[in-house]
Structure 1
Amino acid sequence: MIPRDASDGNDRSNDAAGGGSRWSDLDRPPLNAVALRRGLLREGGLWSGIEVVERTGSTNSDLVALAAAGRAAEGTVLVAEEQNAARGRLDRTWTAPARSGLFFSVLLEPAGVPLARWGWLPLLAGVAVATGLTRAAGVDTALKWPNDVLVTVGDDERKAGGILAERAGEGAVVIGIGINVTLREDELPVPTAGSLALAGARTTDRDPLLRAVLRSLEDWYGRWRAAGGDPAASGLQQTYAAGSATLGRLVRAELPGDRSITGEAVAIDGDGRLVLATEEGVQEPVGAGDVVHLRPA
């Protein structure tokens, strides 16, 4: 298990560029792990341990391995200042400059929630991220089904965050979250990417942003578990739909097996699937795949 006091008061990551000073980029100071623990770890709360590492390949891979070895309890949070082998959905790679964002994974063990409802966890994380960032950074956020967090940069919707959920043994899930915070225009991996800074965030201080997201995640996870994973009774289904950038749009869902469906996104069903109304008058639920927005809402 990762201990609560795994580091001393100087526990801040070093500069990612080898031997450089940890303060070489004054716009991107390191996270303060001690302050994060002080603000988030409490008796009876969800979060049981927080570790900040300078760099790693993937926080998701690391936390899955720790859980498999019995060295991480529910509520463990692993944060990296830099990842060099981060993974998105469909085994896509994802990179960002050191300390330019929030790159972290959390371990959840939803005992008492039917396995059939665990598919809501990535959507729950999306709601939590969007809610936390809106409150802390003052930016408008929206959710692109299934796992993208969008912000507005100029007149464009751009992806500023993504979520990846992975099973970690029989009774656990690791949820990885990546959020672009101070990424500059010339650092964007693709033109459709964005960041909180480019969206005009009132703060890009990652410490309060991470605290806000984790508190929001704790709140939503608690509601969902208390309702036995019921997305309607917990308010999750309605909140996701209200914050969706996908509903009401003409979209193309690119499915496994080189198949695609085009239709209007009309609902998120009780299993978290996106329901498309096709030209043939059929409502077809989509449980996995990529969604391309074809028409503005």
Structure 2
Amino acid sequence: MTPRDGQDAHDNRWSDLDRPPLGAAGLRRSLVRGDGLWSSVEVVPRTGSTNTDLAALAAAGTAREGTVLVAEEQSAARGRLDRRWSAPPRSGLFFSFLVEPGEHEVPVERWGWLPLLTGVAVATALSAAAGVDTALKWPNDLLVTVDGQERKAGGILAEAAGGGGIVIGVGLNVSLRADELPVPQAGSLVLAGAKVVDREPVLRAVLRSFERWYLEWCAAQGDPGVSRLQETYAAGCATLGRSVRAFLPGEREVVGEAVAVDGDGRLVIAPPEGERVAVAAGDIVHLRPA
């Protein structure tokens, strides 16, 4: 099938039959319920950043908790530390959603668990829906194994929005082929041997998994122990037990073994000498393989 005369291939829903478009109506039917978290699901052909767009809607008061925005392609996707990345249209899942933990009486000091909660939700969903074991690199990377090597297949970005909301963005490489990888150390579900690479059931599974974990966490007022979030995250975290180098704000560095994730979601690093350091934010490099 070829695009109509004058039509860009990216704008043609069927320009790549191996990568069919998402169906917004079907997603809404399966996810939006009166007693559930998700309130609306929109799919757009392309945008700069779903996080930026949804944050603007939240600031304007036109988005409420449970709003989901999905893009078939992003031209200005952002990760932590304002890193940029891109992928071919419909080769992955690029979406953001709005949550308002304050409305559930979750104390602000526990909101830092949201990126870690999202990681747990995505990893458990991918295991069940796609048959792919996904490990978590603190604080927000999703890792898969490709040819015996640990590769980054996705990432999570949480940002404050207007009115006490938090916009959480997820980028996940699904059908990205080896010749399309942006960097050699990247990966995708298909390269990791996924049993399912149809994006629609994978997206449904991820959002349902997040809904379950989030509502249980909120019911526990954000307590990571009561909600079992802390122990589940630790069980799936590839950073723990590794020698790591942490690049911290203020051009500081800490090298040591990652020994725990504490009750505030911070990574606890034990240097060869001196006291343990609890890292709340920073760039983490794994220094030895698992």
Band of TM-score, shorter chain? over 0.9
Inter-CA distance 264–41: structure 2 relative to 1 (3 Å threshold):
same
1:18 CA drift (Å)? 4.7
Match of 2:260 in 1: 267
Match of 2:4 in 1: none
SS for the counterpart of 2:162 is: coil
Letter in 2 for 1:62: D
1:20 CA drift (Å)? 5.7
Match of 2:214 in 1: 221
Match of 2:86 in 1: 95
Q: 1 or 2, which has the higher helix percentage?
A: 2
Partner residue of 1:67 out of 58, 61, 71: 58
CA distance in 2, matches of 1:19, 1:61: 22
CA distance in 2, matches of 1:169, 1:207: 30
Give the stretch that moved more between structures: 20-29 or 203-212. Answer: 20-29
CA distance in 2, matches of 1:240, 1:27: 34
Any unmatched runs of 5+ in structure 2? 1-6
Match of 2:189 in 1: 196
Any unmatched runs of 5+ in structure 1? 1-15
Inter-CA distance 163–20: structure 2 relative to 1 (3 Å threshold):
closer
Asked if 1:244 is matched to 2:204, the reply is: no
Partner residue of 2:44 out of 45, 48, 53: 53
RMSD: 1.1
CA distance in 2, matches of 1:18, 1:70: 35
Asked if 1:257 is matched to 2:267, the reply is: no
Letter in 1 for 2:136: L
1:246 CA drift (Å)? 0.3
CA distance in 2, matches of 1:151, 1:19: 28
CA distance in 1, matches of 2:61, 2:19: 34
Match of 1:106 in 2: 97
CA distance in 2, matches of 1:21, 1:107: 29
Q: How does 1:86-165 map to 2 (within 5 A)?
A: 86-110=77-101, 111=103, 112-165=105-158
CA distance in 1, matches of 2:218, 2:137: 24
SS for the counterpart of 1:105 is: strand
Q: Which runs of 4+ in 1 moved over 4 A?
A: 16-20
Q: TM-score, normalised by structure 1?
A: 0.93
Contact 2:174/2:197 (CA < 8 Å) preserved in 1? yes
CA distance in 2, matches of 1:51, 1:287: 33
CA distance in 1, matches of 2:11, 2:169: 28
1:70 CA drift (Å)? 1.0
Inter-CA distance 222–20: structure 2 relative to 1 (3 Å threshold):
closer
Letter in 2 for 1:204: V
Match of 1:29 in 2: 20
CA distance in 1, matches of 2:93, 2:120: 16
SS for the counterpart of 1:216 is: helix
Partner residue of 1:168 out of 149, 157, 161: 161
CA distance in 1, matches of 2:180, 2:278: 36
How many percent identity over aligned positions? 72
Letter in 2 for 1:39: S
CA distance in 2, matches of 1:263, 1:53: 44
Letter in 2 for 1:146: P
